[in-house]
């Protein structure tokens, strides 16, 4: 079962990806994590990617797909995997499809966690983070015991720049321009499934499970 997660930043696709991975005993693969692991382990692909990253450049799609294919060739991916954060653009999806075709493989489901922009701006604006220990909270859904103070270490909680409405708005604009077309791309292939991401987290997961069977 090979799954791609789609959805705007803050739609909750990462959380759902982890839950799918746990239930179906398949790895949750984030491209960021694979890059870091390859660079840390000093692999040839990792060193090649690092050259681009050190210059502040995007890693080319072909190299990203090479690193991804290297990861999905590992034993723990025999029963499938959940891809989170890739592909982000049509060219990336095309490179991935071609590479999978060459090894007689394909993606089974593209799951779109659909949440309106205004919900995402409100949701992310409520996030609070502890820069000291990394704990995260939400003013409505997971509030700290004492307002503005981390339960774990007692330090002050902050609204990250990434979660400020203007930043979220910009990230959503980029998402709609680059990633939204993937919804049409996978829909044309007949593998797109959309779930209502505004529902409770457990209900969203239940909807995904009913699709995956």
Taking the C-alpha atoms of residue 13 and residue 23, their distance in angstroms, rounded to an integer, is 15
Catalytic option among 2, 13, 71, 123: 13
Alpha helices in 41-178 (DSSP H): 44-54, 61-72, 90-102, 117-125, 165-178
**Cβ 195 vs Cβ 114: under 8 Å:** yes
Residue 115 burial (CB count, 10 A) = 21
Token code pair at residue 60: 């080319």
Catalytic option among 2, 66, 127, 128: 127
Burial class (CB in 10 A: 0-12, 13-18, 19+), 71: buried
Told to judge if 128 belongs to the known catalytic residues of this protein, a careful annotator would answer no
Residue 197 CA: distances (Å) to CA of 9, 20, 88, 143, 205? 12, 15, 19, 21, 9
Catalytic option among 23, 146, 155, 160: 160
Told to judge if 123 belongs to the known catalytic residues of this protein, a careful annotator would answer no
Name the nearest CA neighbour of 59 among 46, 72, 41. 46
Catalytic option among 2, 88, 123, 128: 88
Told to judge if 171 belongs to the known catalytic residues of this protein, a careful annotator would answer yes
Taking the C-alpha atoms of residue 183 and residue 10, their distance in angstroms, rounded to an integer, is 17
Told to judge if 36 belongs to the known catalytic residues of this protein, a careful annotator would answer no
Catalytic residue positions, numbered: 13, 88, 127, 160, 171
């Amino acid at each position: 079962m090979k799954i791609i997660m789609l959805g705007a930043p803050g739609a909750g696709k990462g959380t759902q990806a982890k839950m799918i991975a746990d239930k179906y005993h398949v790895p949750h693969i984030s491209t960021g994590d694979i890059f870091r692991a390859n660079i840390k382990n000093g692999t040839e692909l990792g060193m090649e990617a690092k050259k681009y990253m050190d210059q502040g450049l995007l890693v080319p799609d072909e190299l990203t797909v090479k690193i991804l294919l290297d990861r999905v060739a590992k034993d723990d991916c025999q029963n499938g995997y959940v891809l989170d954060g890739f592909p982000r653009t049509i060219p990336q999806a095309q490179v991935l499809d071609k590479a999978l075709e060459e090894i007689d493989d394909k993606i089974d489901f593209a799951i779109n966690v659909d949440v309106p922009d205004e919900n995402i701006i409100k949701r992310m604006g409520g996030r609070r983070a502890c820069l000291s220990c990394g704990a995260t909270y939400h003013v409505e859904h997971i509030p700290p015991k004492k307002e503005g103070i981390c339960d774990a270490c007692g330090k002050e909680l902050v609204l990250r720049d990434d979660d400020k409405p203007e930043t979220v708005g910009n990230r959503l604009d980029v998402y709609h321009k680059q990633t939204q077309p993937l919804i049409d791309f996978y829909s044309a292939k007949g593998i797109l499934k959309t779930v209502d991401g505004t529902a409770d987290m457990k209900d969203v997961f239940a909807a995904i499970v009913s699709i995956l069977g």
